[in-house]
Amino acid sequence: MADAVVLKKHLNFWDCCALIVGTIIGAGIFVSPKGVLLNTGSLGWALIVWVVCGAYSTLGALCYAELGTSIRKSGGDYTFIMDSAGPLFAFLNVWTTFTCINTAGMAILSLTAANYMLAPIFSDCENGVPFIITRLLACCILGAVTFVNCMNLYATRKVTIIFTLAKSIGLGIIVISGIFLILQGNVKNFQEDLNLGDADWGKFPFAFYTGLYAYAGWNNLPNVTEEIKQPSREIPSSIIASMFFVTVVYTLTNIAYFAVLTPDEILASDAVAVSYANRVLGESVSLIIPITVAFSCIGTSNGLFFSSSRVIHVASRDGQLPGIMSMIHPRYKTPIPATAVMLPICCLMLTTDSVDTLITYLSFTRWTFFAMATASIPYFRWKYPDAERPFKVPLIVPFLFVAMAIFMVAGSIYSAPGKFVVGVIITLVGIPVWIIFVWCDKRPECIRRAEIRCTVFLQKLFYVVREETEALH
């Protein structure tokens, strides 16, 4: 079994925690406080939104913990939707996620890291960091992360843990210094603006979107279920610990920001954490924060590459994507084709300034699929009442999550109908793609031969073989 060509079970509790925390804590907490405050109107409501977003993300993560422990298969949302709603909806989930959402997210993370790394070097330049240089460095970051994920499981684990510790230390500096200042009596901002009076409720959906963006990544652990040593124990325990940790740290970080910066200063800042560091830590120490942001983005990108490649691998194994994507390296035990395929897509997205628009266009589909995956809990309990469920949530939890997800989708339609239409079009394009390349198996012989030749060529290029499916269980 040790030499079986399958994905290796190598993730323990701490690895799972590092993956969850590492993918959640990206650039969001360093930038999003501005958007939350802008759309709530007061520090009091902003803090409530941060706590509510953390609680809501935790509900979703707990639902995924039940699904991930009862379905012993990697793939996350894709697998849950595949088993409940069928192959078409599962394919559309993969289609939107990996042609736009996750790849665009990784492109943005690499670009943010590049900007923070280059900003001190080009601080004297009138026009800032040149466009081409940031893009080249972003491509190098993506290439390095792809290489690590392809070639070495041990290095991938270490990178995840090290970068998670680095970003946690950076946030720890902000939290500790903020608490120290509050204990010294720096509470003027709270006294003046910590009110829950009149609020512009029409803007609150945008505040929740911004806050939930900072918590994005709570759903990634079930993507790698097959590589967790004891999934029935590690998935729920690591999810509970990680979500509690992130919610507390995010709330305390915002309290620290609000103790030092006035609402006007927060709204005028493009990077709240950097403004905070410049004010509190001084010039020499404040350089730690931009470095932390860069490390945070790289660490999140690493976690996304790791978890996303497993979804592509499983979808290919199910016949939803080209067969080459399901193959793994016999020595490294990594799905090299499923990992490498994301690199050119991410690099292509770096050629435009509007890559983040894709995520905006497809925000409604993202929450729709979250709702579909979570709604499968009552469906599975009805269809498979005797199935083993090592971890169960009260049924009210998935119902609350689905109701809130519907609210998020309705909010996106109401607030930006034009973007909603574009998102629908992008999603629906996946239907003819699925019909032609997946559902229809009567392709011309010349196309079949070309597919076989292409698969053999890529198999030799990456030195990969089919997984030994009989050894999976």
Domain layout of the chain by residue ranges:
13-471
- The tokens describing 436, both together, are 């032609």
- The tokens describing 275, both together, are 């403004």
CATH fold of 13-471, please?
Amino acid/polyamine transporter I (1.20.1740)
Q: Which residues contact 32 (CB under 8 A, 6 or more apart)?
A: 210, 211, 213, 214
pLDDT value at residue 401: 96
Amino acid at residue number 248: V
Find, among 316, 333, 300, the residue nearest to 102 by Cα: 300
Instruction: Say how far residue 374 (Cα) sits from the centre of its chain.
Output: 17
Amino acid at residue number 254: N
The Cα–Cα gap between 425 and 184 comes to 55
Report the 10 Å Cβ neighbour count for 420: 20
The Cα–Cα gap between 320 and 451 comes to 15
Average pLDDT over the chain, rounded to whole? Answer: 88
Q: How far does the chain reach from its first CA to its final CA, in angstroms?
A: 11
The Cα–Cα gap between 372 and 161 comes to 31
Name 11's bridge partners: 228
pLDDT value at residue 412: 74
The Cα–Cα gap between 378 and 392 comes to 11
**What b/e sequence results for 162-186 when a residue is b if at least 16 CB atoms lie within 10 Å of its CB, and e otherwise?**
ebbbbbbebbebbbebbeebbeeee
Q: Are 50 and 254 in contact (CB under 8 A)?
A: yes
CA distances from 124 to 119, 120, 129, 270, 422 (A): 9, 8, 10, 18, 40
The Cα–Cα gap between 343 and 145 comes to 9
Q: Are 308 and 68 in contact (CB under 8 A)?
A: no
Alpha-helical segments (H) within 152-230:
153-183, 188-193, 204-214
Alpha-helical segments (H) within 8-130:
13-24, 28-31, 33-40, 43-70, 77-84, 87-96, 102-118
Name 328's bridge partners: 465
3-state secondary structure of 465: strand
pLDDT in tens, the chain (473 residues): 457 788 889 999 999 999 999 999 987 888 778 888 888 888 888 899 999 999 999 999 999 999 999 998 999 999 999 999 999 999 999 999 988 888 988 998 998 899 888 877 877 776 777 888 999 999 999 999 999 999 888 888 889 999 999 888 889 999 999 999 898 888 887 776 666 666 667 677 778 888 888 898 999 999 999 999 999 999 999 999 999 999 999 999 999 998 888 888 888 887 788 888 888 877 666 778 888 888 889 999 999 999 999 999 999 999 999 999 999 999 999 999 999 999 999 999 888 777 667 777 778 888 899 999 999 999 999 999 999 999 999 999 999 999 999 988 887 787 778 888 888 999 999 999 999 889 887 777 888 888 899 999 999 999 999 987 655 54
Q: Cα dihedral angle (251, 257, 262, 265), rounded to 10 degrees?
A: -120
Helix pair 153-183, 288-317: axis angle to 10 deg: 140
Find, among 67, 73, 82, the residue nearest to 320 by Cα: 82
The Cα–Cα gap between 221 and 223 comes to 5
Sign of CA dihedral 27, 30, 33, 34: negative
Find, among 395, 404, 366, 113, the residue nearest to 217 by Cα: 366
The residue behind tokens 């007061």 is 42
pTM over 0.75: yes
pLDDT value at residue 1: 46
pLDDT value at residue 26: 83
pLDDT value at residue 420: 86
Q: Are 147 and 343 in contact (CB under 8 A)?
A: no
